[in-house]
């Protein structure tokens, strides 16, 4: 596959939308309190966790690239399988680390919702 054929504006938009969703998703106005309580009472850090945000942005971009590649090849079902695989892997890690079911749903739900935004971005641009 020639990555030059990918819809790069849609990949960037999907990355930005999904990353922005994470900022809202894990905030106190959405699921932040439920996630924190179910994640062994993790308290918000005093300053933004820069390295965690960089890693998250990198992973979000790579997932948006996967969506872009599959859209270019008219195989968006492959992206859906990839998104669900990542969500289930995250859920498995959460359950192994003994997070609550609610915190696990928050984490896995974010992956699915972010992936959906990436797919929508491919359709918009």
Please indicate, yes or no, whether the overall pTM of this predicted structure exceeds 0.95: no
Q: What percent of the chain has pLDDT over 90?
A: 90
Overall average pLDDT of the 56-77 stretch: 96
pLDDT at residue 25, rounded to an integer: 97
Overall average pLDDT of the 1-25 stretch: 94
Neighbours of 121 (CB within 10 A): 24
Residue 65 CA from chain centroid, whole number: 12
Examine the pLDDT at 36 and tell me if it is beyond 90. Answer: yes
Please count the residues of the chain.
Answer: 125
pLDDT at residue 78, rounded to an integer: 96
And the tokens for 18? Answer: 């999904």
How many domains does the chain fold into? 1
What's the whole-number average pLDDT of the chain? 95
pLDDT at residue 77, rounded to an integer: 96
Residue 13: which domain range?
A: 3-124
Query: Nearest-CA neighbor of 72 among 9, 119, 6?
Result: 6
**Cα separation, 124 vs 58, whole angstroms:** 22
Report CA-CA distances (Å) from 19 to 83, 95, 113.
15, 23, 11
């Amino acid at each position: 596959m020639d990555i030059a054929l990918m819809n790069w504006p849609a990949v960037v938009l999907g990355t930005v939308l999904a990353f922005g969703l994470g900022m809202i998703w894990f905030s106190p106005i959405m699921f932040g309190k439920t996630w924190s309580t179910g994640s062994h009472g993790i308290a918000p850090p005093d300053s933004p966790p820069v390295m965690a945000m960089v890693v998250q942005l990198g992973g979000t971009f790579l997932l948006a690239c996967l969506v872009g590649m599959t859209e270019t090849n008219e195989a968006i079902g492959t992206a859906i399988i990839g998104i669900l695989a990542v969500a289930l892997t995250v859920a498995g890690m959460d359950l192994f680390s003994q997070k609550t079911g609610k915190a696990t749903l928050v984490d896995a739900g974010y992956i699915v919702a972010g992936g959906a935004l990436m797919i929508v971005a491919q359709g918009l641009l």
